[in-house]
Amino acid sequence: MPQLSKRAELEILEQERSKNASTIVSTAAYLVFAPCAAAVAALPGFLFTTGMFGVEFEANIALYVAVTAVTSFLLLSTYGNAATGRYFKLWSGDTGRKARAKAAGIQSKAGKKGAKDTRYRDIESATQTESKAYALGMNNVLFVLLSLTMAFVVCKPMMMDYPQVNYVISTISPAVFLAWWSTFDQ
């Protein structure tokens, strides 16, 4: 078998990734991702309603709803991108789980009816679950830390008289950053 160049390997991996990206993060996964995104996106709103910032909820409900909705959408995008990227990092390549399974003699039985060996499918399913959990955990922790840093360290000293602006910037900026960052390899 001829040795592929690094560029050819990357092109093949990118084709496989774009072809299979929708199968990694299914609709059922988004049913789990959506409430998590909404809850995490609402956390800074709760912080800003406390006496520390004093932004009244009733007076600013439209602001809270809009910022939480935009942030939730960005976090959903982040979760999907991060899960897909993490899956392909764990599954593909010379040291990926697919190659190690093949080396251990565990093959996909997709074409054979009644195949009893489910180890390949189990490994693939575990890899998908791990990549989704990684996406949720890592991005939620990073979002909360970045949001707190923006709210207390960066924006609060500059915007003491404008807590609503502080809220918008310190909530949406980390979500935008994570959505951009999730487009790179995990």
**Conformational region of residue 105, where left means phi above 0, alpha means psi within -120 to 50, and beta covers everything else:** left
What gap in Å lies between CA 121 and CA 91, rounded to an integer? Answer: 12
Residue 51 lies in a domain: yes
Residue 70 lies in a domain: yes
Residue 136 lies in a domain: yes
What gap in Å lies between CA 28 and CA 178, rounded to an integer? Answer: 22
Token pair, residue 122, equals 């189990």
pLDDT of residue 1: 46
Band of the pLDDT at 149, cuts 50, 70, 90?
A: very high
Band of the pLDDT at 174, cuts 50, 70, 90?
A: very high
Q: Three-class SS string for 112-155? A: CCCCCCCHHHHHHHHHHHHHHHHHHHHHHHHHHHHHHHHHHHHH
Burial class for 2, CB neighbours closer than 10 Å (0-12, 13-18, 19+):
exposed
Residue 21 lies in a domain: no
Write the pLDDT tens digit of every residue in 159-173.
Answer: 878 889 999 999 999
What gap in Å lies between CA 138 and CA 150, rounded to an integer? Answer: 18
Q: What's the structural domain count of the chain?
A: 1
Token pair, residue 8, equals 């050819």
pLDDT of residue 25: 76
- pTM of structure: 0.80
Token pair, residue 147, equals 């949001």
Write the pLDDT tens digit of every residue in 10-68.
Answer: 666 666 655 555 567 777 888 889 999 999 999 999 999 988 888 888 899 999 999 99
Residue 154 lies in a domain: yes
| pLDDT of 94 strictly over 60 | yes
Q: What is the 8-class DSSP label of residue 184?
A: S
| pLDDT of 9 strictly over 80 | no
Token pair, residue 162, equals 């404008």
What gap in Å lies between CA 68 and CA 163, rounded to an integer? Answer: 16
The string of DSSP letters for 36-48 reads HHHHHHHHHHHHH
**Token pair 């392909």 in the structure block, residue:** 88
What gap in Å lies between CA 178 and CA 40, rounded to an integer? Answer: 13
Q: Are the beta carbons of 78 and 178 closer than 8 angstroms?
A: yes
Residue 20 lies in a domain: no
Residue 144 lies in a domain: yes
Domain span at 135: 6-14+26-107+115-181
Burial class for 128, CB neighbours closer than 10 Å (0-12, 13-18, 19+):
buried
Residue 186 lies in a domain: no
pLDDT of residue 108: 74
